[in-house]
Amino acid sequence: MKKQRAFENFVHGIFLILGLITVGFVLLITLYLIIAGIPAIREIGILDFLFNTKWASTASEPSYGILPFILTSVYGTAGAIILGVPVGFMTSVYLAKLAPAKIRTVVSGAVSLLAGIPSVVYGLVGMMVLVPGIRKLFHIPDGASLLAAIIVLAIMILPSIINVSITASEAVPREYEDASLALGATPVETYFRVSVPAAKSGIAAAVVLGVGRAIGEAMAVMMVSGNAPNMPELFGSVRFLTTAVASEMSYSSGLQRQALFSIALVLFLFIMLINAALNFFLKRSKE
């Protein structure tokens, strides 16, 4: 009997460890990024690192300013949101409220396929279709640009925005909508005047999730944005926070390598902020 109890305690202990392992992983990642990211920031100086506009890591007198990357990430994400959110949101309204059941199934299937396509495939198509397209349309020497990245990101965040907005608008109590319909409002009016305001926290969560996806995407962006460390310009070749890490990691060394870790740390801080915001909106929408 005692043996039995000891065994149960042992099993309980094992599951406790398994339960805590997620927390352990988060701590591991945070710790590693801080330990790896701090030294370069200290050596370069935080102000110089964050606000210097020149990144020349392999020059004879290297300069490690990541302002171009930060701004590119911010502009790129903002652009993707501006393009992606209206389309995603409208699609979600159509799916949640207007579409007949059959069409709904087909379109939802298409949306989840969109979510499952690997980012390198988006990158490939962007590289072969978008980049030459932009070059010809705007008569610029190279189409690999911030604009191309924005378009690819806008497409890639569509499924997240659509799915989260659908969940949010489905959570609106039917009584609200019925009340509005009973007052003589048409269905479309009801959705935009009643359902959407009621679901606004959930929709905000969708936008924030889209921001998180866009700012964290690396490979697709790397294939279409040109990768030069310039200050952001819509038609210019640019480098994002994510691609800054990815493009130099394989051949970096010394301070350059450490600076890449620092960039990852900055990216991580952005993500943590976005996560906190996401959590805030998700909680509010549940209430």
Partner 1 sequence: MKRKINIALLRALCIISAAFTCALVLFLLVYIFAKGVPNISWELLSTKRSYLTGKIGILPDILNTVYIIVATLVFVLPLGVGSAVYLSEYAKNKRLVAVIEYAAETLSGIPSIIYGLVGMLFFCEFLDMQTSLLAGALTLVIMNLPTVMRTTQESLKTVPQSYREGAFGLGAGKWRVIRTVVLPGCIDGVITGCILSVGRILGESAALLFTAGTAHALNGFFAGLRSSGSTLTVSLYMYVKEEGEFGVGFAIAAILMVLTLLVNLLAAFVGHRFKRRQNDE
Partner 2 sequence: MNDIITVRDLNLWYGSVQALHHVNLNIPEKTITALIGPSGCGKSTFLKTLDRMNDLIQGVKITGEVCYKGRDIFARDVDVNTLRKEIGMVFQKPNPFPMSVYDNIAYGPRTHGIKSRAKLDDIVERSLRDAAIWDEVKDRLRKNALGLSGGQQQRLCIARALAVEPQVLLMDEPTSALDPISTSKIEELCMQLKEKYTIITVTHNMQQAVRISDKTAFFLLGELVEFGDTEKIFSNPTDKRTEDYITGRFG
Nearer to partner 2, 6 or 273 (CB): 6
In angstroms, give the least distance from the CB of 60 to partner 1: 27
Please, which of residues 125-184 interact with partner 2 by CB under 8 A?
none
Rounded CA gap, 287 and 283, in Å? 7
Cα–Cα distance measured from residue 18 to residue 70, given in angstroms and rounded to the nearest whole number? 37
In the bound state with partner 1, the residue whose beta carbon lies nearer, of 114 and 140, is: 114
- Using CB distances below 5 to 8 A depending on partner kind, what does residue 77 bind out of partner 2, partner 1, none? none
- The contacts of residue 132 (CB under 8 Å, 6+ apart) are 143
Asked whether position 18 contacts partner 1 by CB under 8 A, the answer is yes
User: Residue 15, interface with partner 2 (CB under 8 A)?
Assistant: no
Q: Is position 129 an interface residue for partner 1 (rule: CB under 8 A)?
A: yes
Contact letters for partner 1, residues 87-126 (x by CB under 8 A)? xxxxx-xxx--xx------xx-xxxxxx-xxxxxx-xxx-
Of 31-70, binders to partner 1 (CB under 8 A) are 32-33, 36
Binding piece for partner 2, criterion CB under 8 A, among 1-9, 32-40, 81-89, 184-192: 1-9
List, as own/partner pairs, every contact residues 280-283 make where C-beta atoms lie below 8 angstroms and the sequence separation is at least 24, other chains included. Answer: 281/201, 281/202, 281/204, 281/205, 281/208, 282/201, 282/202, 282/205
DSSP letter at 279 equals H
Residue 183 is a binding residue for partner 1 (CB under 8 A): no
Distance CA 201, CA 206 (A): 9
Length, in residues, of the chain? 287
Interface with partner 1: number of residues (CB under 8 A):
82
Residue whose pair of structure tokens reads 């799916």 in the numeric block: 95
Instruction: Please select the residue that binds partner 1; options are 166, 205, 222, 259, rule is CB under 8 A.
Output: 222
Contact 73, 125 (CB under 8 A): no
The least distance separating partner 2 from the CB of residue 7, rounded to whole angstroms, comes to 11
Separation CA 47–CA 171 (nearest Å) = 45
Q: In this chain, which stretch among 54-62, 64-72, 197-205, 219-227 interacts with partner 1, using CB under 8 A?
A: 219-227
Residue with smaller CB distance to partner 2, 4 or 250: 4
Q: Is 203 in the site for partner 1 (CB under 8 A)?
A: no
CB of 139 to partner 1, least distance (A): 24
- Residue 216 contacts which entry, partner 1, partner 2, none (Cβ below 5-8 A, type-dependent): partner 1
CA–CA distance, 157 with 134 (Å, rounded to integer): 21
**Neighbour count for residue 62 (Cβ, 10 Å):** 15
Residue 14 sits in the site that holds partner 1 (CB under 8 A): yes
> Tokens for 33?
């990024």
Q: What share of the chain is helix, strand, coil (3-state, %, to 5)?
A: 80, 0, 20
Binding site for partner 2 (CB under 8 A): 1, 4-5
